[in-house]
Every structure is written in C-alpha cells, then in structure tokens.
Structure 1
Amino acid sequence: MLTGYFLFVAILPVVAQSEEKGDYWTVNEGTMIGAGRMHLMDTYLTPGNEVNYTGWTLRVMDERMKRVKLANYKVTRQQIVSLDGGKTLNPAGSAIDYALFLDYTLGYYYNFPVFVPGLNLLAGGAGNLLAGCIYNTRNTNNPVSAKADIDLNLSGMAIYNFRVRNYPVTFRYQLMVPFAGISFAPHYNQSYYEMFGLGNNSGMVHFNSFHNKFAMKHYITADFPVGCLTIRMGYLNSRYQTEVNQISSHIITHTFMLGFVKEFVAFGGKRAMNNKHTYKSTYY
C-alpha cells in the first residue's frame, strides 16, 4: 500500500505555467511522516452505543505549492496527498478498530497584500476527496464501515518568514473548513451485502453541510535549515464528524509531523538549458 502511495505522489502533475520571461516561480514540496493519537467512534459498527476507540495513528503526507498565472501571479495552488492509518481499542480493551484513509486536496489561494515584512496572508477555496474504511475485529455481520466523500472547503493560511540572529525560520498556520459536499452513508443496520449484493442501495449518497457534518483541519508548520537540508516540523489536528442515516461517526487525529522540503522549477529541456531566468520562491 505504501509503495502505491509513493508512486502516486511521484506522478502528481506539476504543470508549468506559461509565465512571462524572467518571472518563474518555484514549486515548494514538503514530504513528511508523522505519528500521534487517533479517536474513532462509529455507531454503524457499534449499533446503539457511542463507544470511543482510542489509539495511535501514522501519517505520510506530500504537499506542493506553486504560484500560478491567475490574477497576475497573485494565486497560489496547493496540492496535498495524505495517507493515514491507525489502530484503536475500545475502553474495555476487548475490541480493536483498524482505520485507513486516503485524502487528496487541491486548493487555490489569493495572496493578499500586507505591510508587515515577511508576512504572507492567503485565502481561498479547496476541493477535498476522502476515501477509506474502519474495520472492527469483533463484528461478524458488519465488520467494515466505509467512508467516501467529496467536499468544497473554505481555507486560509498565514506564512511568516523571519530571522533569529541571521538564522531563517518560516512559520505557517492553515485552517480548512468544509461547507458543502456529497458523501456515502449506509442506512442504520444495513449490511453491505444488502447494498451491493441485493441491490438495496437507495439513499446512500447524501448532501453534506453544517447540518449533518462538522469537519476542520488545523495545520501548523515550522521550516528551518539544517546543513544543506530544509527541515519541516508540524502539527496536524483533523476532526471529521457526521450524523447521517441515524449513524453517528467521528474521526479525530492529533499528529506530529517531521520531514524535509525542497524547491524546484517545473520545466526542463531546451527551455531550462538555453535561458537564464530569475526564480522567485512560492513559499519563502
């Protein structure tokens, strides 16, 4: 599974924009791994009981940011691919929930003018795709709860570049909140055999908004150089809570991340070798 994830990240499209001569923006890419706590609750797996399972989570994440030609290069594109897995126990320690989720986000952010040196303020929207499942080891009839949804999100971030005794540091805070989307949700006590074997699949796709879903992501990072590398440390708090078809569910993670950052220019061949350009950093 991890091999497939890294192959997917490797072929993510980074399309070079048709920029004006002498105005090329770098791609900022951060690759991180992390560990932390996971809290799961799903009444499809534990009918009638809101049992909170707690345990550990591991996450692998790749993020790319690039200024694009929209609004005269005032817009930044952000792509995030994240693979998150965990193992949790019920309070009695008698049952285990395993979870695995793949998350993809594509967002566009306008860079607002500010008058504080080193500070960048961005706001915009993002589309998010989530797919995964929770597997309960104790259940026999309905051991799996599948999750799949597509959301539109409001998002904003602040990036602050400064120096401590000539040592460069970059802090970033980002908030993302979905406001509309569609999701998959079975009916209460409905088995997957009924849905896909017998064809009783009506009412499984639902409109999401604040009336039946609350989700939020807080993302904090710090970039700093160590030798010839740029290190990125971060904290990601993700909350996903739904109330659909009389089924209550939440997925909450607290993950501490560590990785490295690289910047590159997304073109090659004669265009790169025969011309000299001034490159501008998307992030720093």
Structure 2
Amino acid sequence: MSRLTTTIAIAAIAASLAAQESQPTQHATERERAGQLSVGYTDILDTYLSQEKFTGTEFGYLSQSLSRRDSSHIVRETVHHVLVGVAGTRGNDNSLLTLLYNLRLGWMYRWHWAAPRLTLLAGGAIDGTLGGAYDTRNSNNPAQARIALSIDPTARLSWQLRTGRHPLALHYDVTLPLIGMAFSPNYGQSYYEIFSRGNYDHNIVCTSPFSAPQLYQHLSVDFRLWRTTFRVGYLGEYRQMKANNLKYHQYTHSITLGWCY
C-alpha cells in the first residue's frame, strides 16, 4: 500500500511539473501612451481648387501608443491623428475648410544605452490618410478628396535626464513616406465624371519622394506636475504632391500640449 501511495505521489508531482513547463511564460508588457492637442499655422496650395494659397489655423488631436514585451527588441507603434483647419486667401477669409485623419501602424527595433540614458527606435510603418477640403467660395470645383496609403521609414530618439530632482524626457519622432499610392483627379476633370460617369483618368497615382516629398517631425518634452506626466512640443508636417498636372502642398507648424497615461 505504501509503495502504491509513493508511486501515485511521484506521478502527481511529475504531472504538475510537466503542466508548469507546458504553460507559456508570461512576459510583462511595457507601454507608453500619450494624448495631445495641437494648434498651429497652416499654408495650403491646391491648384484643383484655386491658384492662390490659403493660410489659416489648424487644430488637431494626436494619440500615440508604444508597446513592447520585456523580452523583445521590437516596439509596436499606433498613431491616430485628426486635423481640422480653417484657411483663406487675401480676398476670402476662412473660405477653405479641411479635415484629415491619419493612421500609422509601425514596428521598430529598439536600441538602448544605459549610460547616456538614450533609446533609439528605427523601423517602418504603414501610413494611411483620409479626408478632404471644401472651398465655400468656389462653385466650379468646390471640394477635393485626400486619400493616400504609403510605406514609411520611421524613427524615434528619446533621452532621459534630470534637472535637479525633476525627471525629464526628450523625444524626437520623424517619419518620411517612401512609396505608396494616392487619389488625384486629373487637370480639368470633375468628380461627377469620376464617380457618376465612371471616367477613369489616371486617378490612382504612385507616390515617392520625387512626386510627393513629405515629412513628419515631432519634438517634445515630458515633465511631471501634480502627479501627472505632461508632454509639450513642436509638430511640423509637410505634405506635397505633384500629379496629373496638379500641385498640392500643406505645411503646418503646431504647438502640442497633452499628457501621458
């Protein structure tokens, strides 16, 4: 009887150890999230709508999320960016209304140096933009759509430092679209021809740094105040495209203010 009991006990211990080994190891996930509001100056040219430049104010909301397992060097990034602008020409104030939504999904490799407390992330992202512009004073071609998809090299450099007892973190994010596709009407082509009559005229164009040079850069600093980590910075976005004998640019310089959570 004692031998049977011993055998059963040994079998139970072995089964327990085997079950523990078969269970996947749980890894902690490191996350960084921030939400930021922005306001800034915008300069817009769209020759489909007008030969004149529009200048005005742009408001935005930027949500950025970074996550990494403690056993991995790969960092996943998700960025949601909503932009609303009001601009005008010399003769027509606030006549152009713009709305853009940008989604970026990225994967970056992480390098960390403990001595200078520097962290470098570098990799690539899938970048999609959807939105449009509406000119309230233009009866001929009053609206223009913005639809684009691209593959972007992206990078982030972070530096942790202290000023006295107060910790600070400096960040620089940069993204450069490399290759992709975008929608564009042709010169003199109306949206009625495209969507109602189905007259396709090279309306899906390839984009590259030669035909659509663009740049996204964000310089920010994190600081602690009232038990909350705030983030303040400068955001510069430069969107350009030449396609179908049309020119487009939208340059924006913004101040951002938000919080990390």
- What TM-score, normalized to structure 2? 0.87
Asked if the contact 1:68/1:77 (under 8 Å) is kept, the reply is: no
> What is aligned with 2:159?
160
Distance 1:172 1:80, change over 3 A: same
Instruction: State how far apart, in whole Å, the 2-side matches of 1:164 and 1:94 are.
Output: 45
Question: Aligned-pair RMSD on alpha carbons?
Answer: 1.7
Find 1:31's aligned residue among 30, 35, 41. Answer: 35
Asked if the contact 2:28/2:69 (under 8 Å) is kept, the reply is: no
Unaligned runs of 5+ in 2: 1-22
Structure 2 counterpart of 1:66, which letter?
S
Find 1:45's aligned residue among 22, 44, 49. Answer: 49
Instruction: Give 1:19 deviation, angstroms.
Output: 8.0
Alignment partner of 1:183: what SS?
strand
> What is aligned with 1:267?
none
Distance 1:113 1:134, change over 3 A: same
Structure 2 counterpart of 1:192, which letter?
Y
Instruction: State how far apart, in whole Å, the 2-side matches of 1:40 and 1:213 are.
Output: 15
- What TM-score, normalized to structure 1? 0.80
Could you tell me the percent identity over the aligned residues? 26
Instruction: State how far apart, in whole Å, the 2-side matches of 1:135 and 1:68 are.
Output: 44
2:71 matched to 1:67? no
Instruction: State how far apart, in whole Å, the 2-side matches of 1:250 and 1:19 are.
Output: 51
- 1:236-277, CA deviations, whole angstroms, 9 ceiling, x for partnerless residues? 100000000000000111111111111xxxxxxxxxxxxxxx
Structure 2 counterpart of 1:198, which letter?
R
Larger Rg: 2
Structure 2 counterpart of 1:40, which letter?
I
Instruction: State how far apart, in whole Å, the 1-side matches of 2:112 and 2:164 are.
Output: 27
Structure with more relative contact order (C-alpha pairs < 8 Å, separation 6 or more): 1
> What is aligned with 2:4?
none
Structure 2 counterpart of 1:34, which letter?
S
2:52 matched to 1:54? no
Unaligned runs of 5+ in 1: 1-17, 263-284
- 1:221-242, CA deviations, whole angstroms, 9 ceiling, x for partnerless residues? 1111112211111211000000
Instruction: State how far apart, in whole Å, the 1-side matches of 2:141 and 2:183 are.
Output: 16
Instruction: Give 1:91 deviation, angstroms.
Output: 2.6
Asked if the contact 2:56/2:94 (under 8 Å) is kept, the reply is: no
Q: How many residues align?
A: 239
